[in-house]
């Protein structure tokens, strides 16, 4: 059985409640969490539930600087198991004094990483991570995970708090853009995934080379209203929406005019 966001939402909320109950108040009072697990931005079968510090600003974005529980039943990105839990710091997304912040955190987190967690660092991110499978009833998951959450957060969050507090003042979008331009493009290696053949099917991105094929297949017309299309401005639409399980396979795409695609949204219309 695969779980969805609706099934996992109360389990994750119970998990968060258990965690803040068992953490020191000076840490627990700073934490907040996702309202519900969310679908990964690129891989629709991966669900994420995040916990982060409520004082984080856009300099340390909450989706990239957090404690994250991942449900990955197809083993696309998590590391070969159905579940993983980690401290996730995407250091590419640290927009001010990145080199200093990255070096400080990498050194301190590596030495403080609690037993049972693997510390992983590369040129784009650092993690303190555990992988696991869960075959028991889902209601038992909070009891299994809460002590591990507490061990990780209680050890690591005192290291993060000074950094978070230093950058707690929100910067404008223009300020962030200036920081990015000032540092230049950062070189980093692409992440390697465990099952690249499935990554291709479940990715949201569409190969540009498919555009001409989809256009020709429709005869250069919108398959819904029949209006003539231009190659450079028609919409490549998922027949079965990405958010409802539609795969990135050529047979699942059709050519629509912008108006028809916006009306269709994420509904399934032949």
Examine residue 95 and state whether it is found in any structural domain, yes or no.
Answer: yes
Q: Are residues 171 and 220 in the same domain?
A: no
Check which CATH number belongs to the domain holding 237 and give it: 1.10.30.50
Q: Are residues 216 and 175 in the same domain?
A: no
Report how far residue 35's alpha carbon sits from residue 72's, in angstroms, rounded to the nearest whole number: 19
Q: Which residues pair with 253 in a beta bridge?
A: 238
Structure tokens at 175: 């300020």
Examine residue 195 and state whether it is found in any structural domain, yes or no.
Answer: no
Report how far residue 50's alpha carbon sits from residue 41's, in angstroms, rounded to the nearest whole number: 14
Q: Which segments of the chain have a pLDDT < 50?
A: none
DSSP H/E element including 235:
strand 235-238
Q: What is the pLDDT of residue 180?
A: 61
Q: Which of 2, 5, 44, 35 is nearest to 266 (CA)?
A: 44
Q: Are residues 215 and 252 in the same domain?
A: yes
Q: Are residues 123 and 63 in the same domain?
A: yes
Q: What is the pLDDT of residue 199?
A: 57
Q: Are residues 21 and 137 in the same domain?
A: yes
Q: Are residues 244 and 145 in the same domain?
A: no
Is the pTM here over 0.75, yes or no? no
Q: What is the pLDDT of residue 269?
A: 60
Q: Are residues 256 and 159 in the same domain?
A: no
Examine residue 201 and state whether it is found in any structural domain, yes or no.
Answer: no
Phi, psi of 119 (to 5 degrees): -90, 130
Domain interval for residue 34: 5-183
Q: What is the pLDDT of residue 203?
A: 67
Q: Which residues of 177-207 are buried (b: 16+ CB within 10 A; e: fewer)?
A: eebeeeeeeeeeeeeeeeeeebbeebbeeee
Examine residue 192 and state whether it is found in any structural domain, yes or no.
Answer: no
Report how far residue 152's alpha carbon sits from residue 174's, in angstroms, rounded to the nearest whole number: 35
Could you give the number of structural domains in the chain? 2
Q: Are residues 96 and 224 in the same domain?
A: no
DSSP 8-state symbol, 85: E
Q: Are residues 64 and 135 in the same domain?
A: yes
Q: Are residues 172 and 213 in the same domain?
A: no
CB neighbour list of residue 243: distance below 8 Å, 6 or more residues apart: 39, 44, 266
Q: Which of 183, 216, 245 is the last residue of a domain?
A: 183
């Amino acid at each position: 059985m695969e779980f969805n966001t609706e099934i996992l939402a109360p389990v994750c909320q119970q998990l968060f409640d258990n965690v803040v109950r068992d953490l020191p108040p000076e840490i627990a009072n700073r934490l907040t969490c996702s309202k519900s697990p969310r679908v990964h931005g690129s891989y629709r079968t991966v669900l994420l539930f995040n916990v982060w510090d409520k004082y984080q600003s856009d300099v340390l974005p909450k989706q990239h600087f957090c404690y994250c529980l991942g449900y990955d039943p197809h083993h696309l990105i998590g590391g070969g198991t159905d579940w993983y839990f980690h401290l996730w710091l995407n250091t590419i997304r640290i927009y001010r004094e990145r080199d200093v912040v990255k070096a400080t955190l990498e050194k301190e987190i590596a030495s403080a990483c609690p037993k049972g967690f693997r510390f992983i660092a590369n040129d784009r991110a650092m993690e303190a991570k555990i992988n696991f499978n869960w075959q028991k009833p889902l209601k038992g998951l909070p009891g299994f995970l809460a002590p591990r959450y507490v061990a990780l957060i209680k050890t690591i969050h005192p290291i993060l708090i000074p950094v978070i507090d230093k950058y707690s003042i929100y910067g404008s979008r223009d300020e962030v853009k200036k920081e990015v331009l000032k540092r230049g493009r950062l070189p980093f290696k692409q992440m390697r995934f465990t099952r690249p053949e499935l990554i291709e099917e479940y990715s949201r991105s569409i190969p540009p080379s498919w555009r001409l094929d989809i256009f020709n297949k429709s005869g250069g017309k919108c398959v819904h209203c029949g209006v003539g299309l231009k190659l450079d401005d028609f919409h490549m639409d998922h027949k079965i929406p990405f958010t409802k399980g539609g795969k990135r396979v050529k047979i699942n795409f059709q050519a629509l005019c912008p108006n028809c695609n916006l009306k269709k949204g994420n509904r399934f219309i032949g």
